[in-house]
Amino acid sequence: MQAELIFTGTELLLGEVLNTHAQYLGRQMAAYGIEVILHTTVGDNWDRLAQVLEAALKRADLIIITGGLGPTTDDLTKDTVARVLGLPMVVHEPTLQWLREFMTRRRAPLSESMARQAYFPAGAKVLPNPAGTAPGALLVHRGKVIILLPGPPRELKAMFEASVVPYLASLGNPGMVTRSRLLKVTGISESQVQELIGDLGGQGNPGIAYLAQPGEVHVRISARAADGAVAEQMITGLLEKVRERLAGYLFGMDDDVLEEVVGRLLAQKGLTCALAESCTGGLTAARLTSIPGSSAYFLGSIVAYDNRVKEKVLGVPAGTLQVHGAVSQQTAVAMAEGVRSLTGAHLGLSITGIAGPGGGTPAKPVGLTYIALATADGTSCREFHFPGHRQAVRQGAANAALNMIRLYLLARS
Amino acid sequence: MQAELIFTGTELLLGEVLNTHAQYLGRQMAAYGIEVILHTTVGDNWDRLAQVLEAALKRADLIIITGGLGPTTDDLTKDTVARVLGLPMVVHEPTLQWLREFMTRRRAPLSESMARQAYFPAGAKVLPNPAGTAPGALLVHRGKVIILLPGPPRELKAMFEASVVPYLASLGNPGMVTRSRLLKVTGISESQVQELIGDLGGQGNPGIAYLAQPGEVHVRISARAADGAVAEQMITGLLEKVRERLAGYLFGMDDDVLEEVVGRLLAQKGLTCALAESCTGGLTAARLTSIPGSSAYFLGSIVAYDNRVKEKVLGVPAGTLQVHGAVSQQTAVAMAEGVRSLTGAHLGLSITGIAGPGGGTPAKPVGLTYIALATADGTSCREFHFPGHRQAVRQGAANAALNMIRLYLLARS
């Protein structure tokens, strides 16, 4: 089975938005053994979308179109598909009713533009939107399958997983399938990772690919075979070798995120943590609290951006700040112990550094960061030098801080 | 002048690599007034690339092809272009010589595959690669311009800036140019924006397009004309109408971000702010501190995720928490006034709400959020209901909080 992906949105052509759908859907198609032969990105242009769709219908069996399902006048996808396939647009009553209730909850009337989201090409199977208001659609027309998905990435993924995955699975196994696993490491650079495991494989089948992320490196191991089980077997052997080599740095697999891994460990051990953040400015707390249920183990963070807050709230001695400076081991230790006693948390973690672009000196360059962890076993502090610009330093520092909690909890058990 | 971008590489179709070229080149083209009408991504497949190129040659004046210039057997771009245009491949002696010297420095012989990088379609202008070994090429053939750029982003950007930018600049005004402005609003939904300005225009020239972002809506006004000044004039009239209609919600234009707008206002007025965050968990502070120089006006944030922190650090009365609950106007007010007096900031802003997915009740549903602002003029508090999932509620709350500071500072002047 051959597929084409069509991405709509002038914002994609203008480069205002990064197209992440191409990668997400590309991986999903590969996982289901569907060969994607072409991606096309077209603006919010009725005629051009129609031309692109007509051309795709000549080549592909499955066509996925993203974007243009919303309430506004530049949302043309459903009408264009209806026109190309020669189908009328008809109202889908359950969706209309759902939209009415949605707007009632928001104490607003159902506008005509909102109501447009309830109209679909005749014969379409309506795909509910678990993360937004615009439903998607699945059409089977003259043996071709056309799937319409919303543009916002969260909505697209939620709908794909809820409605499209079961459909693709029902198609059975049409050819070579790809399976892949993602290993996620932190505290090591991409080139260091390559030095550690480069000899185990590169492109090829099974293959190893590297993806550098802020503060992390993701290693992708993938294999293609006629059968999913065989592809998984091909991965397993290589996976174990890579795991061993990266053991000290590996924090998770596949969809794991570091803040969730740390949260699970804290919850398992019934421990609480609190933060004292300077250069990360709340970023570490924001990541920990992005996880549902984090209130079970996260008490709070003192974002002590100004030295007065370090002194007055965290009780860092004025002398320490004067003699050693805000970015010093001594201040980091005082911040960690300060927030631990202030909040009564089991773990007090502090981060103080120079995020840049300004504020660096030869003695204390941009990227220099001290991270201290205060626990019942005492207080430890580490010095880091994070490369890159302001956001990279902040992300690197947040990752290193979360990883310090992770390593402490693992060593403790 | 109309352009198409063709991205080659099976890794893009498989989703192994995120296509960042689309955004980078899209922005560059827009900046030079070149209308990009289509992006196409094709695998390392000789015939399909040929078909895509032939179709593009019928539509576009300028075609940029990325990838497939390297030494390996799946690098087919130059040969395919030569075949489609009916040109022979010829050696470029300076490149061959440069490759010889390059390999000599590496104490390695010049392999045949490496040498392939010195061959180009006859008549091509060779574009040096400042960041790698594979040169690019620029061809003018029957009035069409075809530019070949390497796949690795670092190499592509270096070559584009060194060789393509001067070429595009030399074209002067190649025909119809596009100009666009982005208006950014917050505190209003995409469909509400459409209700307010939909009658002013949709597709067309000048045109209006809508882009929903977490907590924000972006409205793009674009116009095409034979001349940049004319296109800008076409925008200006519409822009003013849209500005008037959206006045209460408009926070910035083009590259403005809300946290930077708020920071600029605070700096201008010489005021400082501090936050007390519950449901946003540090997200608001992280956004404010993502702006270089924010230490001039941002003192810190008390992320009071746990009620003990609300009581002990912010001085929220235990009775208030017991009687009205953590998510209440009374608690929000006490948090804002608490952090203001604790830090001595001019502005104390608090956020407390139910981010979900858990914790909602009929009386206090997920999304309910109270935001209070304590200033020398007194304390105000607003109730919000943010739609969507945990991250959408958190982003919406952070935006509303930043916007409350913005509106206060504007009203004050």
Q: What is the DSSP secondary-structure string of A305-343?
A: -SHHHHHHTT---HHHHHHH-SSSHHHHHHHHHHHHHHH
Instruction: Name the range with the highest mean pLDDT among B69-73, B115-119, B399-403.
Output: B399-403
Which member of A152, A299, A308 has the closest CB to residue B305? A299
pLDDT at position A31: 76
Residue with tokens 């609190």: A274
CB–CB contact B301 A280 (8 Å): no
Predicted confidence band of residue B171 (pLDDT cuts 50, 70, 90):
confident
Predicted confidence band of residue A32 (pLDDT cuts 50, 70, 90):
confident
Which member of A13, A220, A306 has the closest CB to residue B300? A306
The dihedral sign for the CA sequence A168, A173, A176, A181: positive
- Chain A nearest-CA distance from B23, in A, is 4
Which member of B22, B293, B385 has the closest CB to residue A15? B22
Dihedral class, residue A367 (left if φ above 0, else alpha if ψ from -120 to 50, else beta): left
Chain A residues touching B302 at Cβ < 8 A: 300, 302-303, 313
Closest-CA residue to B29 (of B223, B222, B149, B179) = B179
DSSP H stretches of helix in A60-92:
77-85
- Chain B nearest-CA distance from A288, in A, is 8
- Reported as a single tens digit per residue, the pLDDT across A273-320 is 999 999 999 999 999 999 999 999 999 999 999 999 999 999 999 999
Average pLDDT of every residue of chain A: 92
Provide mean pLDDT across the span B253-276: 96
CB–CB contact A312 B343 (8 Å): yes
One-letter amino acid at B140 equals V
CB–CB contact B282 A302 (8 Å): no
- Reported as a single tens digit per residue, the pLDDT across A195-231 is 899 889 776 788 887 776 778 888 888 888 888 899 8
pLDDT at position A401: 97
- Chain B nearest-CA distance from A10, in A, is 8
Which helix (H) or strand (E) segment holds residue A382: the answer is strand A378-385
**Encoded tokens for B162:** 């060194």
Q: In what order do the strands lie in the sheet with A250-253?
A: A207-213, A216-225, A177-186, A250-253
Chain A residues touching B38 at Cβ < 8 A: 13, 40-42, 48, 52
Which member of A113, A220, A281 has the closest CB to residue B289? A281
Which member of B26, B210, B303 has the closest CB to residue A72? B210
Pairs of residues, one from chain A and one from chain B, whose beta carbons lie less than 8 Å apart: 292
From B357, which residue of chain A is nearest by alpha-carbon distance? A292
Which member of A222, A293, A344 has the closest CB to residue B308? A344
Chain B residues touching A42 at Cβ < 8 A: 37-38
Selected residue of A117, A259, A309 to mutate for chain B interface (largest B Cβ count, 10 A) = A309
ipTM value for the complex: 0.75
CB–CB contact B294 A302 (8 Å): no
Surface-to-core class of residue A244, CB atoms within 10 Å of its CB (0-12 exposed, 13-18 middle, 19+ buried)? exposed
